[in-house]
A and B are shown apart, each in its own frame.
Chain A
């Protein structure tokens, strides 16, 4: 009970602080060819970024990324948005991520988070979990789950960020 009380107290302080918008935490993860990558380098020259957590065993995640990929060229032309897809596959399947990504011809950046360090830092419980980050690095919205057509809703938000209706 005491612990619960403390948790609530901390929660309260948390609520007071959430007025401050979150930015991306700095975590060391990997690129597809095994190089170290700092998540503080996720940026797009003042334009929006879409950050999506996925895994090989998650069908809806791949459906979402397939949908992004089909529209990516068009989205980039119109708004300059950049997509990062972070695979949370562990060492069971990290070796299969790059071949799948290339095999599917995904055009966006794919990163590896094999022990879930970035996932935990971002409080991702279930995947797919997709974040929209504005040009100054602030997280402006996030969404779990993917249903067909949800990419349109997300893109409306991207357009709003760059001042296009």
Chain B
């Protein structure tokens, strides 16, 4: 890695010193962010001196630089988690350059060496990506070639190893990943079809993982192949997308070492015209966990991505119980309608009214014993595991979310959103709280913004979550004052007033303020943070529970 960096550096210096023209044509841009948290013990919400364990400060930071010189590009990202902030994987602790790359591209070919992110289709068999706020990064370290042999046709080939926190790859320390993808767009490829009413594209990919079998008990496949095919068909206002993926048997700690094959299908049908959008999505996942180390079952080294298709909520209480895909098996559906009642109508008023309805439900798949006499347990290690009827849905519901939203501008100064959500959440399966009953909750949100002047605005957000399970009822209130485009100040409180344990009826209060100029942003938050997605001061991010002071500095150039 150091060699690569030094050669990149040499190249940079070379271009800077040797050729004046190159400087004039070269550009460098980058970004920087650091989040610093100072923790304090807060016994009421379960944070004591021993949980902090002397780690009073957590700092996550990165600096990213991209250098471009015509068809040549190189980039690097430095990261330092010293130590990682609360809620991040302790294996994140460390510093270095996990992301170093160089690429050359023409209209025909694009070659990348070093680290890269890539996705085939919807990612069902291959996706590498990073999510800074979650501390997730499964980037490839290897090579990628992309070819554009003709208009409408894209061919990709990749190979390498995946990032596993700071652990360097050594022979057999984890698997190797190789793959290829073809994407063919008929409308781009065929003369005369460019503006045809029907739009069609096709795609196919194959990925293989190699990991040595050193298992003392089982004879495991060392090369595991996965394949997928997809199409996207558009006609008029309709669009239909479907992708199917298949994986050969891949016994791993995620599926309790069964020799079952894996399958996944994702399909969506949508209709959209001005003022109206409707989408229906279906998916089925069966034994599709695919990691480059079969011994790892935690959130790392994923080769593929199985998208949860339910709505991703933006308010703290609607996002309190987020669904996560069950890679061992699930069947889900999602339906959404967006409609804008036109301006000037009775319900639309002067500005029009926005409506959104969303329904999603995910159930388990049905598993039957492989032998009729039930002599082999379903999912027993070392067996084929089970048989499963493709179309049968189990009665076991993992997740159900029915929500409705109305968006309305009342006049030039006042606008607001109200939302209702009805939730069923199998906390035992999703969060591993074995034995806990499923959470049935109602959530209400009201979010109003009043513009005092053209630049000053006051936003008030009120939320309530009612449930008899888990931590019981919650209420939340926030007021945010903004002076566009630079300043914000917000105060918020989340109150767990219905916690069955009266000792735990806590207030999670925060005071935050920030300054943004161009793309430089400073923000300071003091108080308690409960877990969840928080959107304050114009941006959203995922946060763990903590108490103390948080400072965020970010910029780019």
Contact = CB atoms under 8 A, between A and B. Distances in A.
A and B interact physically: yes
Nearest to B314: A59
Contacts of A22: 27, 29
B277 A14 contact: no
A123 B29 contact: yes
A116 to B, nearest CB: 6
A116 B117 contact: yes
B537 interface: yes
B30 interface: yes
Contact of B239 (A26, A33, A149): A33
B436 interface: no
A93 B360 CA distance: 13
B519 A13 contact: no
Interface string A138-156: 0001111111111011100
A98 B268 CA distance: 12
A145 B451 CA distance: 17
Given A96-B336, A103-B275, A103-B356, A28 B154 contact: yes
Given A59-B540, A99-B272, A103-B275, A35 B556 contact: no
Nearest to B557: A18
Contacts of B273: 102
Given A20-B27, A142-B519, A95 B270 contact: yes
Nearest to B540: A58
A102 B276 contact: yes
B345 to A, nearest CB: 14
A116 B456 contact: no
A87 B185 CA distance: 21
Contact of A115 (B65, B68, B95, B127): B127
A128 interface: yes
A114 B540 contact: no
Contacts of A92: 307-309, 312
Interface string B296-320: 0000000001011101111100000
Contacts of A123: 29-31, 64, 66, 556-557
A125 B31 contact: yes
A11 B482 CA distance: 33
A147 B457 contact: yes
A109 to B, nearest CB: 15
B467 interface: no
Contacts of B447: 59
B241 interface: yes
Nearest to A26: B105
B451 A149 contact: yes
Given A35-B188, A128-B538, A147-B457, A117 B117 contact: yes
B13 A148 contact: no
A17 B554 CA distance: 21
B518 interface: yes
A91 B454 contact: no
Nearest to A116: B129
A142 B277 contact: no
A90 interface: yes
A95 B279 contact: yes
B484 interface: yes
B23 interface: yes
Contacts of B352: 105
Contact of A120 (B117, B538, B540): B117
Nearest to B121: A91
B279 A6 contact: no
A77 interface: no
A121 interface: yes
Contacts of A104: 338, 340, 354
A17 B359 CA distance: 51
B328 interface: no
A103 B279 CA distance: 11
Interface in B333-362: 334, 336-340, 352, 354, 356
B199 A35 contact: yes
Given A142-B519, A143-B518, A144-B519, A98 B239 contact: yes
B96 A3 contact: yes
Given A17-B23, A34-B239, A148-B457, A126 B278 contact: no
Interface of B: 5, 9, 12-13, 16, 23-31, 33, 63-68, 73, 76, 78, 95-97, 105, 117-119, 122-123, 127, 129-130, 132, 152, 154, 183, 185, 187-188, 199, 201, 232, 234, 239, 241, 266, 268, 270-279, 281, 305, 307-309, 311-315, 334, 336-340, 352, 354, 356, 447, 449, 451, 453-457, 459, 482-485, 487-488, 514, 516, 518-519, 521, 533, 535, 537-541, 554, 556-557
Given A34-B241, A146-B538, A154-B485, 12 more contacts: A18-B27, A34-B201, A93-B312, A102-B274, A103-B338, A103-B339, A125-B132, A127-B539, A144-B538, A148-B459, A148-B484, A153-B485
24 contacts: A3-B78, A13-B16, A21-B27, A25-B66, A35-B187, A35-B201, A56-B311, A58-B314, A91-B266, A91-B307, A96-B336, A100-B277, A100-B336, A101-B277, A103-B337, A103-B340, A120-B117, A126-B539, A141-B518, A143-B485, A143-B516, A144-B538, A147-B482, A149-B457
Across the A-B interface, give the 9 residue pairs with the lowest CB-CB distance, nearest first: A103-B338, A99-B277, A145-B538, A148-B457, A102-B272, A147-B482, A103-B277, A149-B484, A95-B268
